[in-house]
């Protein structure tokens, strides 16, 4: 470790350790700035770079981590689920939360982890002061992030949960997997703002989480599966999207009197857990948080 120390005067050299993020798109990601600052704060000679990867090359991209000696990587949309197939080993977290968002390269052996679920709960509890056991939750979306969020909420004591997705079969599959993993039975409700059952559940929910890319930079926000008045007063609307900082989902919720938060807190905490998996060192949360807010223009 001593030979890999970083100083402010040091430039990238033959000992620089490379980390990165695989996804498509990744140009919007704040992780490169956050993680590179964290590596410097820890005194490590390392950099973290974006790898924008076309879907047809995902297998080659993962193999490239091993071939090029990339020490670790995050995995984001749309590859969290498929990347599981290319790991040499899966940590229990990847099996539990259903996807891989963190890859650790241990001497050429790729191990897949999932820090999304624990990172989400830390963001709720530490940043928002919200206890998942407080009441029912509704999740919009049924992809890899939604599964991590749903599983984490159940593990943290959420008493009732509904999944809403544009494609019902995916929502059903998520609910079935959640039941197989935890024994918990979730509601599956239609993506239809006029559906009475979905509206009734949404009104009683204490937490509504957007796990879709709707509202992300470059994605149009449209066709929300909630009445215009929701989320509303007494509810927390949490959007996993963090760019833009004030997402359409947040603006809508705040206009209705709800508390609203973007995904910066989850990005911070899942990133900190990933960094600790790569380095074995405690993550410098204060520095990481500061860089995130600088990136967001706060």
Number of domains in the chain: 2
Tell me what pLDDT residue 3 has: 40
CATH number at residue 63: 3.40.50.10860
CA distances in angstroms from 183 to 69, 81, 151, 175, 179, listed in the order given: 40, 22, 11, 10, 4
Based on the fold, state whether residues 105 and 11 are members of the same structural domain. yes
Residue 174, domain extent:
117-262
The pLDDT value recorded for residue 84 is 95
The pLDDT score that the predictor gives to residue 5 is: 45
**245/139 same-domain check:** yes
Here the CATH number for the domain that contains residue 193 is: 3.40.50.720
- Tens digits of residue pLDDT in 61-91: 999 999 999 999 999 988 998 999 999 999 9
Ligand-binding site membership of 270 (annotated): yes
80 among known catalytic residues: yes
Claim to verify: residue 107 and residue 8 sit in the same structural domain: yes
Same domain? 252 vs 128: yes
If asked whether residues 227 and 122 sit together in one domain, one would say yes
In tens, the pLDDT along 225-247 reads: 999 999 999 999 999 998 889 99
142 marked as part of a ligand binding site:
yes
Instruction: Indicate whether 43 and 151 sit together in one domain.
Output: no
Q: Is 112 annotated as ligand-binding? A: no
87 and 148 share one domain:
no
Same domain, 110 and 121: no
**CA-based radius of gyration for the chain:** 19
Q: Is residue 64 located within the same domain as residue 83?
A: yes
Residue 144 marked ligand-binding:
yes
Contact indicator for 164, 138 with CB cutoff of 8 Å: yes
Question: Looking at residue 66, what is its pLDDT?
Answer: 97
CB atoms within 10 A of CB 285: 16
Please identify every stretch of the chain with a pLDDT value under 70, giving residue numbers as ranges. 1-10, 217-222
Domain shared by 48 and 153, yes or no: no
Based on the domain organization, do 151 and 106 belong to the same domain? no
**Structure confidence at residue 11 (pLDDT):** 76
In the set 80, 122, 155, 206, the catalytic residue is: 80
Residues 82 and 130 in one domain: no
């Amino acid at each position: 470790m001593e030979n890999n120390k970083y100083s402010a005067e040091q430039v990238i050299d033959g000992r620089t350790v490379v980390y990165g993020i695989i996804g498509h798109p990744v140009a919007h990601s704040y992780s490169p700035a956050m993680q590179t600052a964290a590596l410097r704060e820890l005194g490590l000679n390392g950099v973290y770079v974006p790898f924008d990867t076309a879907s047809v090359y995902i297998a080659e991209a993962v193999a490239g981590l091993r071939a090029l000696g990339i020490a670790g990587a995050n995995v984001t949309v749309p590859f969290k689920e498929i990347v599981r197939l290319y790991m040499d080993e899966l940590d229990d977290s990847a099996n539990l939360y259903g996807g891989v968002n963190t890859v650790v390269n241990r001497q050429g052996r790729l191990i897949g982890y999932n820090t999304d679920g624990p990172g989400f709960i830390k963001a709720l509890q530490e940043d928002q002061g919200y206890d998942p056991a407080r009441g029912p939750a509704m999740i919009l979306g049924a992809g890899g992030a939604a599964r991590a969020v749903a599983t984490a909420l159940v593990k943290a004591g959420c008493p009732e949960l509904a999944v809403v997705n544009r494609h019902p079969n995916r929502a059903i599959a998520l609910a079935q997997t959640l039941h197989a993993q935890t024994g918990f039975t979730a509601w599956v409700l239609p993506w239809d703002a006029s559906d009475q059952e979905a509206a009734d559940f949404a009104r009683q929910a204490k937490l509504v989480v957007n796990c879709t890319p709707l509202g992300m930079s470059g994605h149009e926000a449209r066709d929300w599966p909630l009445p215009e008045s929701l989320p509303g007063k007494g509810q927390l609307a949490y959007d996993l999207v963090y760019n833009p900082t004030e997402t359409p989902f947040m603006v809508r919720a705040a206009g209705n009197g709800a508390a609203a938060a973007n995904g910066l807190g989850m990005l911070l905490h899942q990133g900190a857990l990933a960094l600790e998996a790569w380095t074995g060192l405690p993550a410098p949360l204060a520095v990481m948080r500061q860089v995130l807010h600088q990136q967001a223009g706060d």
